[in-house]
Amino acid sequence: MDYVDVLKSPEVRSQQEVNLANIYANQHERLDNFVFMYAVPSNLLKKFGIEIYSGRGYLLLFGIYFVTVFIPGLLITALTSQWMEMTPLRLAIVAAVLSALNVIVLIIGQVAAYKISALHRLLRGVEEIQALIQWDRRWFGPRISALMGGIISAAFLVILYLLNLEVDRIQLPATILWVCTVIAIFLGQFSFSTMMIFFEFRKLSTRQFELYRLNPYDTFHIQRTSAGLKQLGLVSTVSLPFFLLVLLTVLPEGSSLNVPITAGFLLMCYMATAIGILFPLGFLGNIVKVAKWQLLGPIQAELNHLAPRLLSLSKEDYEHFIRLQTVYQTIKDTKDSFLGFSAVARIGGTVLLATISVLLPAVIQRYLLK
């Protein structure tokens, strides 16, 4: 074994592998490929030749969300004659804030999705990639997103109703229930997408990748995916507190739902951090570790073969032995974890910021808005 051989791939990826890996990555690059609340507007805008990821697309998406929230809310208010609980101006402000939040989440989440999908382009193995594509289309499609998001949001509304019924027995007006439904739909799809990232990276951690062989950790695509996963945490930090503030603002004054709802949002922030960031980063580290030991195994075997004859090796073989040792130690000393102290400290800071951000709306609603 020449020491240079360990820096080469066992075999060059076939064009079919490259094409399939790109197909798999392309499915994940765009949130509108698998999130229902973005897929429907995206398909509508495409019919008019408008790209959703553009200034014009974002503006029209805001308008679509605004109409979707405001018009049904206005009709519900008119049918129930509950104008005192939700005036048209207040409803318009709530609809505008929720629409803007959804667009902001799309922008931040899309940037993270582009980065996260970088790893997918390095996959090896035709059959394994095909299996991932099929699994991806089965579980990451807009329909399953709508179904699972609907189930999660329905559970949220049931809990909200039971808390309202049992805690303070204040009947929520129909319009406020509609606003709660809109927020619950977003939270449901957000929760499902975060959960699917966990399962996806758990599957990816058992696959083979074309990584930088001298330092798998330093592979550009690996670093890009790591950055995307960390950026995904910003979605929780930015969006959940504002959705909570909207929800607390529209609840009836004196409602005892504020405390359990705030606690629920805080729990959601922690779960999103663990499931959507920490665990996937751990799986990403496993990918690097497997790649490292696949490289080190053959080198170690060659060193073991030469070691018993070390004193009798020719000059050429001895130099070969030293070079192998150098390569072995170089690869062995490279990083293989994305959850080091500095990374955990940064994520901990994000969690702390999320905690403050979630508690702050409750304080604002309690002391400033009521």
**Amino acid 98: pLDDT:** 92
Whether pLDDT at 285 is above 70: yes
**What is the percent of the chain where pLDDT is above 70?**
86
pLDDT tens track for 311-340: 788 888 888 888 888 989 988 888 888 887
pLDDT tens-place string over residues 344-358: 777 777 677 767 766
Has residue 359 got a pLDDT over 60?
A: yes
| Greater pLDDT, 195 or 59 | 59
Report pLDDT for 2. Answer: 53
Q: Could you tell me the pLDDT band of residue 241, with boundaries at 50, 70 and 90?
A: confident
* pLDDT at position 368: 58
What pLDDT score was predicted for residue 166? Answer: 53
Over residues 152-176, the pLDDT tens digits come to 778 777 776 776 655 555 566 778 8
pLDDT of residue 13: 82
pLDDT tens readout for residues 130-156? 999 888 888 877 888 788 778 877 877
Tokens representing residue 315 in the block: 């000059």
Residue 83 has pLDDT above 70, yes or no: yes
Structure tokens given for 308: 């018993």
For 14-43, how does the pLDDT look when each residue is reduced to its tens digit (9 = 90+)?
Answer: 899 999 999 999 888 888 888 888 999 999
- Res 204: pLDDT: 93
The reported pLDDT for the residue numbered 187 is: 79
Q: Quick check: 64 and 39 in contact, CB under 8 A?
A: no
Mean per-residue pLDDT of the chain: 82
pTM: 0.82
| Domain chopping of the chain, boundaries | 3-367
Better pLDDT: 361 or 222? 222
Least confident of 36-40, 50-54, 66-70, 241-245: 241-245
Read off the pLDDT band of 366 (50, 70, 90): low
